[in-house]
Amino acid sequence: MSEIDLTNDEKARYARHLILPQVGEAGQKKIKSASVLVVGAGGLGSPVLMYLAAAGIGKIGIIDDDKVELTNLQRQIIHSTSSIGELKTESAKRRIYQINPEIIVEIFDTRLTIENAEEIINRYDVIVDGTDNFATRYTISDCCEILGKPWVFGSIHRFEGQVSVFNLNGSPNYRDLFPKAPPPELAPNCAEAGVLGVLPGIIGSFQANEVLKIILEIDGILDSELLLIDTQTMNIRKLRYNANKEREKVTELSEEAISCALGLDEEQSLDVSDTKENMKEISPLEYVDKVKNGWNPFFLDVRREEEEKIVTLPDTNLRISHTEVPSRLEEIPNDQDIVIYCRSGARSAMVANFLKMSGNYPMEIYNLSGGIHLWASTVDSSIPRY
């Protein structure tokens, strides 16, 4: 990071940094010279982006392929009501320039994948994880290990959050702490499990703090330490961890390595793919039309109890959380067609696959494509989307 001068306006803007012994003018020049990539412009990305912009990071990159939805606004504070329907990257960029027009913002309207990760990540000094899925997180981890880039991890769940720094000057990496991702039922995302709106603001602020400490090269960085925060009990603790000396270092990005971390070997991945190809899907409009013409399938809701209280589709016969289906098969009839739904169609697809592969259901099994989201868009716009 090469040093550059500060203008008089910048000295005024960052005055409270300049009087900090740990920052000063030399430190602010480091901040101005630095570049940071934030993966995800959602709950965690929002405070990270806003605070790093305010701090004067010279170049900020944002990668996200999603659009702003009403349900985001409870926690994704970089976006506003007027941003609904807009790409999150564009919405975030506009807000950042309102905070600090003197910095550079680069946006990538795509997902981070093994195909584009090295090219994008290599352009930045520090990487911030603002994602909500393990596949992207392992991609960040592997790519940063290959390129020698430090990255700041953050995760949230209901009232709890975690923060750590990986791959800083040879410090342990994510795979040392988490060799395998937990199964989906033990690590649901915010849409499935819920999250207190202020939590990503707290965790994201801690992440931004770690980024600045890395750039300023000051003591106390959370490398080799996992910060655990419970905002309900206000219990805060740190867990130390070490590198796994027996772990083989990552030298190239591959689908196989990501699948292995997610608990899928090559054979299992093929099995899932084959099942999805054979699995039947039905759109909400097709379902409604067939029911009007006399079709009488068993309509199964596989969401959680808390979600059922928000909205339930008409003529639902039974609600069973997708994690409970294997232990409650006797409640699901095998003498009529079955249509399965959830919020977006992902969990219901898993259940449809499971029932089909069990061999106990000779009738047709359908996944309601798009779930409640698509139902609200195409059948009944009055029902809440969450």
255-307 tens-digit pLDDT: 777 766 665 433 333 233 444 545 799 999 999 999 999 999 999 999 988 88
Is 260 designated active site?
A: no
**Which CATH superfamily hosts domain 34-264?**
NAD(P)-binding Rossmann-like Domain (3.40.50.720)
| pLDDT for 133 | 85
| pLDDT for 264 | 46
Domain 268-378 coded CATH 3.40.50.970: no
What is the helix (H) or strand (E) element at residue 94, kind and residue range?
A: helix 88-99
Question: What is the model's pTM?
Answer: 0.74
In the chain, which stretches have pLDDT less than 50?
A: 1-2, 264-275, 277
pLDDT digits (tens, 9 = 90+) for 234-263: 999 999 999 998 898 999 998 777 766 665
Q: Are 67 and 88 in contact (CB under 8 A)?
A: yes
| pLDDT for 126 | 99
Phi-psi region of 224 (alpha: psi -120 to 50; beta: other; left: phi over 0): left
In this chain, the answer to whether the domains covering 34-264 and 268-378 adopt an identical fold is no
Q: Which residue among 143, 144, 260, 342 is the active-site one?
A: 342
| Residue ranges covered by each domain of the chain | 34-264, 268-378
Is 342 designated active site?
A: yes
| pLDDT for 273 | 40
- Residue 124's alpha-carbon distances to 14, 148, 163, 175, 292, in angstroms, are 22, 11, 20, 21, 56
